[in-house]
Amino acid sequence: MCGIVGILGNHEAAPNLVAALKRLEYRGYDSAGIATVNAGVLDRRRAVGKLANLNDTLVHDPLAGKTGIGHTRWATHGAPTIANAHPHQAQDVAVVHNGIIENFRELRAELAAAGIACQTETDTETVALFTQLHMDKGLSPVEAAFATITKLQGAFALAFLFQGQDDLILAARMGPPLAIGHGDGEMFIGSDAIALASLTDRITYLEDGDRAVVTRAGVEIRDAKGTLVNRPIRRIEIDASHVDKAGHKHFMAKEIAEQPAVLANTLKHYLTDGGEILLPDPGIDFTAFDRVTMVACGTAFYACMTAKYWFERIARLPVEIDVASEYRYREPPIPGRTLALFVSQSGETADTLAALRYCDGKAERIVSVVNVPESSIARESDLVLPIHAGVEVGVASTKAFTCQLTVLLMLALKAAHARGEIDGTSLANHVDALRGLPALMHLGIGQSPQIQATARKLSEARDILFLGRGIMYPLALEGALKLKEISYIHAEAYASGELKHGPIALIDKHVPVVVMAPNDALFDKTVSNMQEVMARKGKVVLISDAKGLDDAGDGVWDQVEMPACPDVIAPILYAVPAQLLAYHTAVAKGTDVDQPRNLAKSVTVE
Ligand code: G6P
């Protein structure tokens, strides 16, 4: 995982390195560090914990120099300690790394045989040590770094900085993305363009196998075979403005609250005044496909799972879904006429990107639904459908989820209409339902005080179950995921019909059971399952509309009232109470809501 940056600047590098790392904190935040070269002298500062700690360190122990590299870490090899924090230094070279060096044990053994001992538990240190070893044998810094890279197996985005070299950073990419930023007499390196947003808008993306020699005069890129290559400079549009909490206590609270406005914006990008659903050029001809394969991770996967119900029920298109970390390893056959759809907020999730590459050349068409249009997944897709959620800072995804759902529902409706499964009137009704969503969400968010009271009670539980049926089942899964991510309470979700096949054994008076049940066609069946829970003294929290609560609310432990809504949009609306329950429970427990322990917003390693 981790984020890396590099600066060959005309001003002091440290403040800009830290600011760029701040933008990369979504990749990890368990330690951070920077290294600079100042008048030829290579030096570094590192700190455990969030970037604020590195900032403190730099206040007491500043680091001068206009050339530097930086890193924010999500530990893979070795605990988050100062020793394991990047940059890793071996005398005259410092290295920052995003990825995993899979053959690091062999490399360590080779180093040991040469009498060189590793000082850290990381895989990355071997890169610094080998580069130093090569320099000791007389290779130049560039030759030494390149010789080291040829020894590496696994995934890496690397940046190297050298003692005595004020005008040189080397960068290499195999797997994780790496962007080179072009300034005026300055050059930059970043894990993504967002990291460099306040420094430049001119970006070159390295391709797999590329090695770049970066100086203030520009960049020279060679591919894996050593051939000089020209990679285009793109001018990108990224809002460099500081994202703030707008008066909320946490980014997550802000991102939940802004969903009505954000969703209205998403709809505006896809719906014409006449109620037509417009896709970016060249669109999708849904009559050309017999099936859809959807792949994603985490919350984005639950968006796919929800969309499966829409595509199959409304558009009569069979849908296969899988989590990206499993997908390519089961080597699924991909018949012709398959539309492959990848959903990712960040567009950088390593497994989702790898699944996309697995489908490349096999599926008829590769489409991605992303929040970051400049991301790797977007760049490698045939068609990109942006969700227009704006920057999402909270590690637990909220507004991106509801925007993903909204785009996927519009896609399913478009498919249904194109395939003749619904007529114009039915399409118009569904579109009307979508247009009504922001107002309904606003009402849902208005239930926050009630949900907060419920959450206070939930915060005392050790285990919580979530139940849903039909299209509310993925929502139950999302509710449980959200809760465990940020409150650290063990939560599981089941399709309520499955309760009797095992999970009912868990029910006793200590286990709250959250039932997500709008008053839809499956309501009575869900209520029967809920009664089975109550008969075993389970404490039911029923989330439904006024009619549902009226019909079935007797005897429940607690309830949350949602506005009545058309069935088709219920999963999007009911995401709100799921998010608020998790949020208020986490606040009641005093956890770090926006940056929960052990997690990262974007998982850029396998
Ligand atoms: C991490 C995040 C989740 C997110 C998942 C997929 O686990 O914590 O919130 O849903 O990655 O990320 P993506 O950027 O691909 O949607």
171-200, pLDDT tens digit by residue?
999 988 899 999 999 999 999 888 998 999
Q: What is the mean pLDDT of residues 407-417?
A: 98
- For position 606, what pLDDT does the model report? 78
- For position 20, what pLDDT does the model report? 95
- For position 374, what pLDDT does the model report? 84
Q: Is residue 25 a contact partner of residue 51, using CB atoms and an 8 Å limit?
A: yes
Beta pairing, strands 291-296 & 338-344: parallel
Distance CA 516, CA 479 (A): 9
- For position 391, what pLDDT does the model report? 87
pLDDT bin (cut points 50, 70, 90) of residue 239 is: low
- For position 240, what pLDDT does the model report? 60
In the set 2, 297, 403, 565, the catalytic residue is 2
How many Å lie between the centroid of ligand 1 and the Cα of residue 300?
Answer: 7
Distance CA 191, CA 347 (A): 13
- For position 314, what pLDDT does the model report? 98
Q: Is the pLDDT of residue 595 over 60?
A: yes
Model pTM score = 0.88
Residue 403 tokens read as 């925007």
Q: What is the mean pLDDT of residues 247-263?
A: 96
* pLDDT tens digits for range 129-155: 999 999 999 999 999 999 999 999 998
Q: Is residue 592 a contact partner of residue 337, using CB atoms and an 8 Å limit?
A: no
How many Å lie between the centroid of ligand 1 and the Cα of residue 550?
Answer: 37
Give backbone dihedrals phi and psi of 127, rounded to 5 degrees, phi first: -65, -45
How many Å lie between the centroid of ligand 1 and the Cα of residue 397?
Answer: 7
The structure tokens 């060679």 sit at: 222
Based on the residue annotation, tell me whether 137 is a catalytic residue of this protein.
no
Q: Is 395 in the pocket of ligand 1 (CB under 6 A)?
A: yes
Q: Is 514 in the pocket of ligand 1 (CB under 6 A)?
A: no
How many Å lie between the centroid of ligand 1 and the Cα of residue 577?
Answer: 20
Report which ligand 1 atom has the smallest distance to the Cα of 377: 15
Report which ligand 1 atom has the smallest distance to the Cα of 400: 16
Provide the percentage of residues in the chain whose pLDDT is more than 90.
85
Q: Is 325 in the pocket of ligand 1 (CB under 6 A)?
A: no
Q: Is 404 in the pocket of ligand 1 (CB under 6 A)?
A: no
Residue located nearest, by CA, to atom 8 of ligand 1: 601
How many Å lie between the centroid of ligand 1 and the Cα of residue 284?
Answer: 26
Based on the residue annotation, tell me whether 565 is a catalytic residue of this protein.
no
Q: What is the mean pLDDT of residues 378-406?
A: 95
Q: Is the pLDDT of residue 241 over 80?
A: no
pLDDT bin (cut points 50, 70, 90) of residue 242 is: low
Q: What is the mean pLDDT of residues 294-306?
A: 98
* pLDDT tens digits for range 270-285: 999 999 999 999 999 9
Q: DSSP code of 279?
A: P
Mutating to test ligand 1, I would choose from 191, 376, 601, 605 the residue with most ligand atoms within 8 A of its C-beta, which is: 601
- Nearest in space to 161 (alpha carbons), one of 42, 266, 248: 42
Q: Is 526 in the pocket of ligand 1 (CB under 6 A)?
A: no
Provide the percentage of residues in the chain whose pLDDT is more than 70.
99
Instruction: Considering only residues 14 and 25, tell me which one the structure prediction assigns the higher pLDDT.
Output: 14
How many Å lie between the centroid of ligand 1 and the Cα of residue 314?
Answer: 27
Q: What is the average pLDDT score of the chain?
A: 95
